[in-house]
């Protein structure tokens, strides 16, 4: 059995399905640096660049894709299908129509559900159903469904040709802690905040080693849930989305790119492409899916297939 890995990112879908014995011979990803990280970790027979231009696709059993979320994100302009990035959903529909894989798994931000008061998602579901798929969607949180302490809510949309029922995985106890994902090794000095203008305010409020903080423009926000806030693609550019920790030697820093991969469930032997800048590494980790969550959904998909 094979997946088609569209909007492949750095290979989270590939990893999740491979762990269950499902192969991947085809991928498609438009970002050159992301493609290099993917190729550094995987070999696929064919790797396309632009989903809007693909032709003569090979066969695959399951279509996978975390299609662009910016058009539907609360942090973006929320133009949805009117946004050029949102229009790629039409390309997804065309591929599903042409190839008719037995199943699909799509991922996007939670904001997709509320976009245009739910009309956008309802339209998408209708289009997918018209292709013959039974469609099921649900918002899952990494902290509740992946046993990783990251507050990351994403909608997952499953389509099946041969089953009119599907049950998403249930929530499971969170047995891990933030410290399980912090390495404290080979940390670039540039990640520490001693020379930052807001350091005196950070030092005053960042007092616990068991949780994370964020600088929210004018104040320090403590994540009292003791979870990592949602990792984002723009963590490397600074701003209020950067998770901060207090280290064992009482210094304040942001997460390393490797630690961000840890909070997305990537294995220790997974690597960014060589000589990748921190900014691009943060982008790649923050833009990814959480591998254990996808793996649990994939197990269910295979069962119902």
Q: Catalytic residues, which ones?
A: 69
Is 147 in contact with 175 (CB distance < 8 Å)? yes
Buried b (16+ CB within 10 A) or exposed e, 254-286: bbbbbbbbbbbbbeeebebbeebebebbbbbbb
How many residues belong to the chain?
Answer: 305
- Secondary structure letter of residue 234 according to DSSP: T
- Residue 246 has phi, psi (to 5 degrees) of -100, 120
Give the CA-trace dihedral at 237, 239, 240, 244, to 10 degrees. Answer: 70
Nearest to 72 by CA among 85, 62, 60, 57: 85
Let me know the angle formed at the C-alpha of 84 by 80 and 86, rounded to the nearest 5 degrees.
35
CA–CA separation, 142 and 106 (whole Å): 16
**Distance (Å, whole) CA 267 – CA 12:** 11
Task: Pick the closest to residue 142 from 303, 302, 298, 296 (CA basis).
Answer: 296
Rounded distance between C-alpha atoms, residue 254 and residue 224, angstroms: 17
């Amino acid at each position: 059995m094979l997946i088609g890995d569209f909007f492949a990112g750095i290979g989270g879908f590939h990893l999740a399905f491979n762990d269950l014995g499902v192969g991947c011979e085809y991928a498609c990803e438009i970002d050159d640096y992301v493609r290099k990280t993917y190729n550094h970790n995987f070999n696929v027979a064919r790797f396309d660049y632009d989903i809007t231009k693909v032709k003569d696709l090979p066969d695959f059993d399951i279509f996978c894709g975390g299609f662009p979320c910016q058009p539907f994100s609360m942090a973006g302009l929320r133009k949805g299908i009117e946004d050029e990035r949102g229009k790629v959903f039409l390309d997804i529909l065309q591929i599903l129509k042409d190839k008719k894989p037995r199943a699909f798994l799509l991922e996007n931000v939670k904001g997709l559900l509320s976009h245009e008061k739910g009309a956008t998602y309802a339209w998408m579901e209708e289009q997918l159903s018209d292709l013959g798929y039974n469609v099921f969607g649900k918002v899952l949180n990494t902290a509740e469904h992946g046993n990783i302490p990251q507050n990351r809510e994403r909608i997952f949309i499953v389509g099946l040709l041969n089953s009119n029922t599907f049950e998403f995985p249930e929530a499971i106890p969170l047995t891990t802690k933030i410290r399980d994902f912090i390495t404290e090794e080979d940390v670039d000095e540039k990640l520490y905040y001693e020379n930052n203008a807001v350091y005196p305010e950070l030092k005053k409020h960042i007092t616990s080693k068991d949780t994370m903080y964020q600088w929210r423009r004018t104040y320090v926000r403590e994540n009292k849930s003791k979870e990592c806030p949602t990792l984002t693609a723009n963590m490397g550019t600074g701003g209020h989305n950067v998770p901060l920790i207090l280290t064992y030697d009482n210094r304040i820093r942001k997460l390393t790119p490797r630690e961000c991969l840890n909070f997305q469930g990537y294995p220790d032997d997974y690597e960014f492409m060589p000589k990748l800048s921190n900014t691009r590494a943060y982008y790649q980790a923050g833009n990814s899916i959480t591998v254990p969550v996808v793996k649990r959904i994939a197990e269910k998909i295979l069962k119902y297939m």
